[in-house]
Structure 1
Amino acid sequence: MRVFEPLLSRNALTVCLLTTAVFVTAGFAPFFTPLALAADDPDQSVVVVEEEVVEEEVVVDADAAPRPVAVFTFSGWQELIDDLNFVGDVSDSPGLGSSIEGLMALSTGGQGLVGLRRDQPWGVTVSIVNNEPDILAFVPLKDLDRFFKALAGMIGPVPQDENGVYELEVPGQVLFAKQEGEWAFLAARPESLENLPEDPALLVASLTKKYDVAFAVNMQSVPDEFRMVALTQIRLGLEQGMTREKGESDEAFQARVEAASKQVAEIEKALTQIDQLTVGWSINREDRKAYVDVMATAVAGTEMAGEFADIAEGTTSFAGFESPDATVSTVCTGPIAASDREQLPGMLSSSREQLDTMFQSSDAFSDPQVKELTRKFVDKLFAALEKMMDTDKFDGGMAVFGKGPFTIIAGGAVSDSAAFETLVEDTLKDVNEEYPNYEGYRRNVAEYKDLRFHTINVPALPDPEMLETAQEVFGEKIDITIAIGEKRVFFGVGPDAIDRIKHVVDLSAEAGEVAIPPLRMRAKMAPLMGVLGSLARRAGKQMEGEIGKLGGALPGGRGSADEDGAEEFADNDGDQLGGDGPRGLDLGPLGPMPLPSKLPDLSQLFVDMKPGKDNVELTLMPISNGVRYSIVADEELLKLISAAASLATQAAMNAGPGAGPFGPGGGGLPQ
C-alpha cells in the first residue's frame, strides 16, 4: 500500500524530495567506503506539452443504486481482436488476434462465436448480497442456446430449466446462464439471474467509451464490516513484522514503529474516504500508442478530497530537465500546504531513520568508519532538505543523459542554499578527520552563473559486483558533482555532470516559467535497453541463487543452501519440497506453487527498440475530487507484451509438468 501513497495523498510532491534523498545518499555512501582503501594512496584518484485538466469522474452505473463493488469490462470482441493483431504486427507476431479467432472456430466446429455482437462490451460486476460476493457476467450473445450447441463437442449438452436458466458444469463447480434480450448472463448462483438489467452496456458505458479494457472499484459500496476486517488483517500483519532488526538502534526501531502506525492510519483513511479506484487501458492504432490511466477519487467533503484538491497544475523554473537530449526526465512542481510543512519534520525524520537503517545494515558497507560517515551525511542531508521544503512551493526535477554510461542529475529550488554549503563543508571536514590523505574531493572546480561546483571522485568500491554495476551505469571513473547557487541546488553522478547541469540551467533560463502538471516523467527506452538487459541478467542469476537457498532451507527441500543453490536445486526431477509430486511450495487447496529450477532470461524483455518510437510518459493530473496518473507508451513498448507472454510460457515449462492448482496434486479453485 505504501507504493500508492503518492496517489492517495496530497504529499505526492514529497516523492520527488525523498527520491532525490535516496539518489544523493546512494551516490555518497559508496564514496565513503573506498576512503578506507585509498587513505594511504592520494594518487587514487525542452519539449513542453500542455495538458488539459480533466474534470470528469469515471462513473459506473450512474443511474442505479447502490453501485456494484467492482466492475471489469472490455469494449468489444472486435476491438480486442484488432488490438491484438496490432500488437502482433509491431512485435513481429502477425495475426495474434486472428489466431484466437481460429482457436474459437476450431473449438466450435467452424462456427466461431455464433450470435456474438462483436461491437458490444463484455463485463463482470461484483456486488455484495447478504454479506457474500455476488458475481454477474454479461456477454453480447443473441442466441445462448445456439452458442451452447456449437460447444457441445467440448462441454456436452447444457440443460435448461422452465425459467430459461441453463446449468453449466465446469471443473470444480456449476455455473448458471440465462438469455435476456440480446444479452447472455452468467452467474455462480441462479438467484443472481433474477431482475437482470435490460441493457448492461449502460453499467460500463463511462468506461468503455474511454478504454479498451477497464477495472473500477467503488469503495463506498464495500460494507463497513468488510473494510474493517481488511484493516484488522493489515494492522496485525504490520504488528507481527515489528520485530527489532539486527543492529537496529532504539531510535531507528521507534521511528519504524511510528511509520507503521502512520501507514495504518493512511490505509484506514483510504478505505473509508476513497470513492472510486479505476484502471483503464487502451490502444490507439492510428497514432500507434498505448494509454493507461490510474485514477482515484475521494468522497466529496472528506479530508482526502481536500488533499486531492491541493494537487494542481503550476509552473516550473526547471523546464530544462525536459531536454530533448535527456534519456529520462522528470519535473515536479506544486504548492506545499502549511499543514504539510508542519508534518514535514516528522515525515523526514521517519524517512531518514529508514534510509539510515538500510545503509547501516548493508553488507556492502561493513567498515565502522564508513557507516559513521554515512550516518552523519544522512543526518545533514535531511536537515538541508527540511530547510529546502520550508517554502510554499516545491519545484525541481531530474534527468538521465547518455546511452550508457549515464550521467544522472537532479536539482531544484531551495529556500536556504547555505544549508547545502554547510552540508558540503561538514562532509569534507568529517572525511578529512577520518582520512587526512584523501585528495579526491575538490571544491570550487568551476563556476557558472550563480552556481559553484564541487566534485568528489569515488576511487574504488570494495564489493566487486557493486563496482561492476556502478561502472556499467556511470563509467570507469565515478564522479559525484554538487552545484550550489543562490536559491537552487543540483546533484550529479556521471562522466559529464558539470556540463549537463550547465545545459539544464541554460535551457531553463531560455524557457522561463513554464506551465506544467504536478508531475511529469518521460523516458526513451532504447538507450536504456542494453544496460537494463545486462542488469536484468545479473538480477536473474541472483534470484536463481536465492531460490536454490530457499529450496535447501525448507523442510524436506532437496536444494542446497550454499552460494550455488540454484545449480544444486535445478535437477527438476519432480520431487516436491517437503513431499512427493510437483516441485514447489504446498499451498493447500491451491496445490503446489512451482519453484522453477532456472528463471527465464529477464533480459529478453529488453528487446531492440527503434529510436523515436520508444518513448513513454507518465503524468500526474488533477481531476474532479481526485487525481489521475496517465501513462502513454509508443508502439515499441508494446513488444514487451509479446516478450512477457513468451517469458510466462517459458517459466511455466521450467516449473515442470503438473505444477499449479490444476496439475496432479492440485486442488483446483477453492470452493
Structure 2
Amino acid sequence: MSFRCSITVNRLFAVVAFASATLFASSHSLVRAQGTAPAAEGGTVVTDATEPVVVVTLGSVNKLMQDINYLTGVVGQPQYGGIFQMMAGTFTQGVDLNQPIGIIVPLVNGTPEPIALLPTADVRTVLKRLEAQTGPADELDDGTLVIAVGANTVYIRQVGTWAAIARNRDLLALAPTDPASLFEGMGNDYDIAIRLRMQLVPTETRNMLVAQLRQGFEQAISKQDQADAEGTKAMAESSIKQIEQLIQDTDELKIGWNIDQAGKQLMFEGSFTAVAGSELAAMYGGQQAIPSQFASVIRDDAAAYYHTAMSIGPQAVEQVSASLENATGAIRAALDQSDDLSDAQRDDVEALVQRIIDLASRSVKEGKADVGALLLANQNDFQFVFGGFVADGNEAAQIVKDLAAKIQNEPKAPKFSFDVSTYKGVTMHLIEADVPQGEDELQKMFGPKLRVHVGTGAKSVFVAVGKDSESLMKNLIDSGASDQGGVRPVGQFRVQLLPILQYAQSIETNEVIAAMIDTLSRASDGGDVMVVQKSIVNGQESRMLVSEGVLQAVGAAVRQVQQQKMQNNGNF
C-alpha cells in the first residue's frame, strides 16, 4: 500500500491531462451542437469569456536553439541541432529571439479558443518571410492582417510588442498587451510548459466530461463477459468516482520540461493543487513526511533505491480501503472463472488473497506509509533489500507459513525454514529454491540455489536477495530507530545506470551494453535518474532529473545499433 500511495500524484497528472484534452474536444462538440456561428466575416460575438484556462509556453528562440544544440550534441547527433537552427533562422526574422512564445486558451461562449502570442514589434516583417507558404497578407479596415494557412484563415494583430494570432478576428481583443504575468513561472524557465486552471471551466462542462467518461466505462464493461463485468464493475465505479473528484476539485496543474545545460540534465517538473477546503485538498494535506524506519536505503553508492515515508490522512485511508475492497471482489470473480484450479484450491487462494488484502487495509488504516528498497551492484554480484511497515508483522509471517504448508508436497516447491533466528526483535526466515539446470543467466545470478531471506518484526517486513544480503538486511534493521525525520521528500527514487549495466554485462555480454558502459565510464556521472515528490499546500509536486550521462549512454546505444545494422546489410 505504501507504493500505491506514493504514485498517486503520477496517476493524478495523467488523469487530469487526459481530462483536459477530453474537455476541449467535448466543448467543441457541444458548441457546434448548439449552433454557435460567426456574427460576421472573420468575427464571433464574444458574449462571455474567461481568463485563460490553459497557458502553453515555449522558451525563446535563442533558448530553444541553444538547448537543442546541447541535447543533440550530447546524444551524438549534432546534425539535427544544426537543422533546427537553420530552420529557426529562416522563419524568425522580426521575432524577438529572447522572449518566449505563448498560447493562451480562454473559454469563449463556452468553447476553448486558442490565441497565440508571438514576441515581435513588427509582425509584418515576420509575415513577409512566410509569403512563400501563405501568400501576401491582406489587411482589414481595423488594421487586422489576414493570411491563409492551408484551408484555414488566420487573423493577426499587433498588440504592443507582441502579435496576437487567432482563428476569429474578434478573439484578438482578448489578447493581453503584456503577457508577462500570464507566463509567470513558465516562459524561459522551461523549454515547454503547460498550466491548466480547472476551476475556470464551467461546472456544467465538467459535469458533461464526467458523464462522458462514465459512459465510456459502461460501454467497455458491457462488452465483457457477464461474469467478468460483475467482477470489474465495482472497481470501475470506484475509479469513476476518483476521476470525478479530480475533475471537480482540481485547482491548478502545471507541467514543465527543460534542458538544463548548467546542471547537465533534463528536468521534468509537475505540480498539482486542489481547491482549498475540498476533500481532495484534505487528502493531499494529510500526506506529510514523517520519520522512517527505512531511510538508510538513501545512499550515494546505490545502484538504485526507493523510499517513501509519509502520513496518510483519513480521506486517503477511506479511498484506499474502498479500492482494496473492490479489488477483492474482482480477484474473486477472476478465480471463479479459472478452469485451472479445483474448488479446494480456489477456496485456498481466495482465503490467502483475502488475508493479504485485510493486512494491507489494516496497515493503511494505521495512517502512514513507510517503505525502503535498496539495490547495490558491481561487476560480479548484487544485493537487494526491502523493508516496509505493516500493521502486523506476525500475521505476515503466518500467511507465508500457511502458504508453505499448502504447497509443501508440490513438485519443485521451495524449501521454507521458519523462525531460524532472531535479530533485534526481527524473526528471521529463509526460503530456498533450486535454480534449474540450463538457466545459465539465473545460475550466474544466484548460483545453483536461490536464497531469499525474510524478516518479520512486530510492525515490519524485510526481504533480502543476493550475495551476503542477510548482512545488508541487518544493517537496515540496525538503522531503523536512528531516523529523526527532518526535511525530506514524501517519496524519492534514484537509479544509476553504470553499476547496473556492468553487472548485466558480467551475466551476458552485449555490444550495445558495452558501448553504454564505455561511454558512462568516461562521463561526468554514472547515468543518474532521480524522481522526487514533495508535499505542498493543498497538493504535491514532482520532479524527475535525467543526467547528461544517461543521454550520452542512450546516444552510444543508438550509434551501436546503427553500426550493427550497417554491418548486417553489408554497407559497412
Q: TM-score, normalised by structure 1?
A: 0.67
State yes or no: 1:486 paired with 2:462. no
Contact 2:58–2:193 (Cα < 8 Å) also in 1: yes
CA distance in 2, matches of 1:74, 1:141: 15
Match of 1:385 among 342, 360, 364: 360
* Superposition pairs of residues 214-253 of structure 1, within 5 angstroms: 214-243=193-222
Q: Which residue of 1 aligns with 2:550?
A: 637
SS in 2 for 1:516: coil
Give the secondary-structure state (helix, strand or coil) at the position aligned to 1:348.
Answer: helix
- Could you report, residue by residue, the CA deviation over 1:472-494 in whole angstroms, capped at 9, with x for unpaired residues? 98777444332112332112445
Equivalent position SS for 1:315: coil
2:183 alignment partner, one of 204, 218, 222: 204
State the Cα distance separating 1:163 from its structure 2 match: 2.3
Aligned CA distance change for structure 1 residues 519 and 195 (closer, same or farther; 3 Å) = closer
Q: 1:282 to 1:254 in 2, by over 3 A?
A: same
Is 1:291 aligned to residue 267 of structure 2? yes
> Taking structure 1 as reference, are residues 224 and 620 closer, same or farther at Cα in structure 2, changes over 3 Å only?
same
Per-residue deviation at 1:212? Answer: 3.2
> What is aligned with 2:394?
418
Measured after TM superposition, the shift of residue 166 of structure 1 is: 2.2
Q: SS state of the match for residue 391, structure 2?
A: coil
Whether contact under 8 Å (2:190, 2:258) holds in the other structure is yes
CA contact (8 A) 1:315 1:513 kept: yes
Q: Does 1:94 align with 2:78?
A: yes
Higher relative contact order (CA 8 A, sep 6+): 1
Distance in structure 1 (CA, Å) of the matches to 2:461 and 2:330: 24
User: Aligned-pair distance for 1:446?
Assistant: 4.8
Q: Which amino acid aligns with 2:269?
A: D
Aligned-partner SS, 2:195: strand
Identity, in percent, stands at 24
Which range is displaced more, 157-166 or 119-128?
A: 157-166
Indicate how the Cα distance of structure 1 residues 286 and 345 shifts in structure 2: closer, same or farther if over 3 A, else same: closer
3-state SS, counterpart of residue 97 of structure 2: coil
8 Å CA contact 2:287–2:313 kept in 1: the answer is no
Check the 8 A contact 2:283/2:316 in 1, yes or no. no
1:504 CA drift (Å)? 2.5
2:495 to 515, 523, 529: 523
Residues 174-573 of structure 1 mapped to structure 2, 5 A cutoff: 174-208=153-187, 210-243=189-222, 254=230, 256-341=232-317, 344-354=320-330, 374-402=349-377, 407-432=383-408, 434-435=409-410, 438=413, 440-459=415-434, 477-494=449-466, 496-508=468-480, 513=485, 515-528=487-500
Mapped to 2, the partners of 1:333 and 1:482 lie a distance apart of 21
C-alpha spacing 1:136/1:4, structure 2 compared with 1 (3 Å): farther
Q: Secondary structure at the match of 2:262?
A: coil
Deviation at 1:253, TM superposition (A): 5.5
Q: How far apart in 2 are the matches of 1:163 and 1:646?
A: 56
1:85 aligned residue: 69
Deviation larger for 354-363 or 613-622: 354-363
Q: Residue in 2 aligned with 1:615?
A: 528
Q: What is the CA deviation profile of residues 220-266 of structure 1, one whole-angstrom value per residue up to 9, with x for unaligned ones?
A: 122233222221221111112225867x9x6x854521121111111
Assess, with a 3 A threshold, how the Cα gap between structure 1 residues 408 and 268 changes in structure 2: closer, same or farther: same
Amino acid at match of 1:237: G
* Letter aligned with residue 537 of structure 2: S
Where 1:632 maps in the other structure, the secondary structure is strand
Consecutive unaligned residues of structure 1, counting only runs of 5 or more, are 11-64, 534-600, 650-671
Counterpart in the other structure of 1:588: none
In structure 2, relative to structure 1, the CA distance for the partners of 1:186 and 1:470 (3 Å cut) is farther
Secondary structure in 2 matching 1:205? coil
Q: Structure 1 pair 174/470, CA: closer, same or farther in 2 (3 Å)? A: farther
Tell me the amino acid that sits aligned with residue 429 of structure 2.
H
The aligned residue for residue 49 of structure 1 is none
* Residue in 1 that maps onto 2:9: 7
Instruction: Report what 1:139 is aligned to.
Output: 118
Measured against aligned partners, the alpha-carbon deviations of 1:288-343 in whole angstroms (never above 9, x if no partner) come to: 12222111111122111211211222221211222334322111112233455455
Shift in CA distance, 197/268, structure 1 to aligned 2, threshold 3 Å = same
- Name the structure 1 match of 2:537: 624
Which letter does structure 2 place at the counterpart of 1:102?
M
Residue 113 of structure 2 aligns to a residue in which SS? strand
Deviations 1:456-482 (A, max 9, x none): 2344689x9xx8997798777444332
Per-residue CA distance 1:70-103 (angstroms, 9 max, x = gap): 1110231111111112212321233654432213
Provide the C-alpha distance between the structure 2 equivalents of 1:357 and 1:639, rounded to a whole number of angstroms: 48
> Following TM superposition, by how much is the alpha carbon of 1:393 offset from its aligned partner in structure 2, in angstroms?
2.8
**1:343/1:147 Cα in 2 relative to 1: closer, same or farther (>3 Å)?**
closer
* AA of the residue aligned to 2:254: T
Q: TM-score, normalised by structure 2?
A: 0.77
SS in 2 for 1:118: coil
Deviation at 1:608, TM superposition (A): 5.5
Which residue matches 1:151? 130
Aligned residues: 516
Tell me the distance in 2 between the aligned counterparts of 1:626 and 1:197.
29
AA matched with 2:497: M
Query: In the alignment, is the contact (CA less than 8 A) between 1:296 and 1:628 conserved in 2?
Result: yes
Deviations 1:512-571 (A, max 9, x none): 6554221111111334458999xxxxxxxxxxxxxxxxxxxxxxxxxxxxxxxxxxxxxx
Decide whether the 8 Å contact of 2:283 with 2:314 is kept in 1.
no
The aligned amino acid for 2:527 is D
Cα separation, 1, equivalents of 2:196 and 2:260: 25
Gaps of 5+ in 2: 13-48, 506-511, 563-572
Amino acid corresponding to residue 532 of structure 2 in structure 1: T
SS at match of 2:291: strand
